[in-house]
A and B are shown apart, each in its own frame.
Chain A
Amino acid sequence: MPSMNSVLLISFLLFSIGVVGVLIRRNALIILMCAELMLNAANLNLIAFARHSGTVHGQAFALLVMGLAAAEVAVGLALVVALYRKKSTIQVDELDLLKG
């Protein structure tokens, strides 16, 4: 059975990779995927600690978070498509109409 230390470590590393991705990539789609990765890292934590305590509290929460992530992705992708239609680019540092 996996020890909680390894779970915490892996979920933290996944979370950090997600944070790095959001901060450094220019493509809006990749930024969105990295935000989803952060949500998944939190899910891993929740499920692991549900296992740790033997209750389903964490698992039910994780299931609801999955649904939320899907809804957020839907809206995010609609925004990206609308952006592409208007500006023909999805690189976020080319969005310079609003300063800084």
Chain B
Amino acid sequence: MPFAQQLWQAMLRDLPLISGPLTLFFAATIMLWPGDLLLPSNKKHIWAPITLGVLAVSAALVANTANGSGFSSMFQVDGFTRGFQLLCTAAAFITVVLSQPQLNALQEQTVEYYALILFSLGGMQLLVGATDLVSVYFSVELMALCIYILVAYLRTQERSIEAGVKYFLLGAFSSGILLYGISLLFAAGGGVTTNLLQLNQKLALATHNNSLLVFAGVLMVLVGFAFKVAAVPFHMWSPDAYEGAPTPITAYLSMAPKAAALAAFLRVFGTGLASVHSDWSAPLGFIAAASMILGNVAALRQQSIKRMLAYSSIAHVGYMLLGVLSKDPLGGARAVWLYLLTYLLMQSGAFAVIIHLQGTGEGERLDDFRGLARRRPMLAFAMMVFMLSLAGIPPLLGFFSKFYLFMLAIQQGQYLLTTIALLTSAVAATYYLGVVNLMYFKEPTGVQLPRLGTALALTVGCTCGLVLVGTCFGPWLLDWAQTITWF
């Protein structure tokens, strides 16, 4: 009995730490059953506002969770956790809003869609606070499993199923590599612990004969994580998955799981593997450079804007990996968080425009943007703002976060990588400006577009406004970034 009582008390003591994810899981479960049974079938669209409400509650709980560590040091709430949890929740919020046009048009308003988004967000919120390789692995798998299903959600469309199968096989392969790497690190640490801080200490003391084990383990964990963030050369089927998935899910894919996976990357490599920095800094540098180069170069040749944004997100991950490389993990974390915050705003705005165009059967191909300035001047202006900001052109918000990140990289002495980043940013400007060129300087070909729905209009308007004036809020943004700490 005392053992069971101890367990119960330990659990009750630690539950408030995960109040955010817990709300999401409970809400999603109740939505699935008996929620869906009780709702009449012509009112299924109510799930969207309910989901938004749940997301708001979860965000409030997350913001109010006090610092602490629990579950046998497997989960920890600190400024870092809260910052990234809020980022992922914002991404999920925007995704639900962006999903409405397509789900309404296809009459696919089902509760499972929203429940899966809630479950995946719960996995992400647990991932960014995980301080043990075991909880990292399981949170990644929860997040990824929901996303495999979401990518293949429109199973009547061939491309959606194809994208889902490819993404799933890639994900299963990468999770095998990640787990094997974790098992090697577990072995190298003596087979007693997978806690990040304890592992760090044990790895620092690794004997010469264990160093091969450590090296192999670290490399495999790096490869596994690189698959999860879709960095080169492990990006094999990601552009396909991005292209075939339903467009709001593509938006979700390019924002939230990347943010959560990068947060896990920062925590695992910043605290857990910091003592073996020399083992992974060179391979990670290579991966970052390759992502920046290939992501930007491949985006030049794309005909579909979804694919172009997919390759450009690979390039953005390359830039953010510069933050992971830094020897000062907290500084890197702050730069990455700031970059992700601005990236979230720009990507959601761009995808809102694409989804609006898709409503009329266009929006997939770059050619659909021809002459948009004449058909819909405000929309074209917003898209121009997003494209310029993604390219990092001052004085827009994108420039601010890129500048902060590159400044950190230079301070850390990574001159070669920063040079590559600057050169490839210039290349990126080419294809981003290409879209602007198409919108403003080419003849329109499409039909008359309907009016923008309220939700989409609000999204585009807010994000555009924020991106335009965001740099004026620079000091406040930097203050927010300073709250990203861990202990």
Contacts and interface: CB of A to CB of B under 8 A. Distances in A.
- A touches B in complex, CB < 8 A: yes
B158 A82 contact: no
Given A46-B183, A68-B138, A28 B176 contact: no
B284 interface: no
A34 B190 CA distance: 28
Interface in B144-196: 145, 148-149, 152, 155-156, 158-159, 161-166, 168-169, 172-173, 175-177, 179-180, 182-184, 186-187, 190-194
B166 A98 contact: yes
Contact of B192 (A15, A55, A79, A98): A55
A35 B182 CA distance: 16
A43 B149 CA distance: 26
Q: Which of B134, B163, B176 has the most CB of A within 10 A?
A: B176
Contact of B158 (A19, A35, A43, A87): A87
B166 A57 contact: no
A32 B171 CA distance: 10
A28 B193 CA distance: 36
B180 A52 contact: no
B180 A55 contact: no
B191 A50 contact: yes
| Majority DSSP secondary structure for residues of A touching B | helix
A82 B152 contact: yes
Given A68-B138, A98-B159, A49 B149 contact: no
B187 A72 contact: no
A58 B186 contact: yes
B182 A79 contact: no
Contacts of A97: 158-159, 162, 244
B141 interface: yes
Given A57-B192, A76-B168, A64 B134 contact: yes
A42 B180 contact: yes
Contacts of A32: 169, 172
Interface in A45-72: 45-46, 48-50, 52-53, 55, 57-58, 61, 64-65, 68, 71-72
A35 B176 CA distance: 6
A53 B173 CA distance: 29
Given A32-B169, A98-B162, A61 B243 contact: no
B240 interface: yes
Contacts of A61: 134, 186, 194
A92 B172 CA distance: 15
A9 to B, nearest CB: 12
Interface in A12-38: 15, 18-19, 22, 28, 31-32, 35-36, 38
A57 B191 contact: yes
B179 A65 contact: yes
A58 B149 CA distance: 30
Given A75-B145, A76-B168, A38 B191 contact: no
Given A15-B180, A64-B138, A95-B166, A35 B173 contact: yes
A28 B179 contact: no
A57 B182 CA distance: 13
B172 A76 contact: yes
Contact of A75 (B149, B155, B173, B240): B149
A52 B192 CA distance: 9
A58 B164 CA distance: 32
A64 to B, nearest CB: 7
Contacts of B173: 19, 22, 31, 35, 38
Given A45-B183, A87-B158, A79 B176 contact: no
B201 to A, nearest CB: 16
Nearest to B181: A42
A98 B193 contact: no
A11 B339 CA distance: 40
A18 B169 contact: no
Given A22-B173, A45-B184, A95-B166, A79 B148 contact: yes
Nearest to A72: B172
Given A22-B173, A61-B134, A28 B187 contact: no
Contact of A49 (B155, B180, B186): B186
Contacts of B163: 98
Q: Which of B164, B187, B192, B213 has the most CB of A within 10 A?
A: B187
Q: Which of A19, A50, A64, A86 has the most CB of B within 10 A?
A: A86
28 contacts: A8-B187, A11-B183, A31-B173, A32-B172, A38-B179, A39-B176, A42-B176, A42-B183, A45-B180, A49-B183, A52-B187, A53-B190, A53-B191, A57-B191, A58-B191, A65-B179, A68-B141, A75-B145, A79-B148, A79-B152, A79-B161, A79-B168, A86-B156, A87-B161, A92-B166, A95-B166, A97-B162, A98-B163
> Closest 4 interchain pairs by CB?
A38-B176, A49-B191, A53-B191, A45-B183
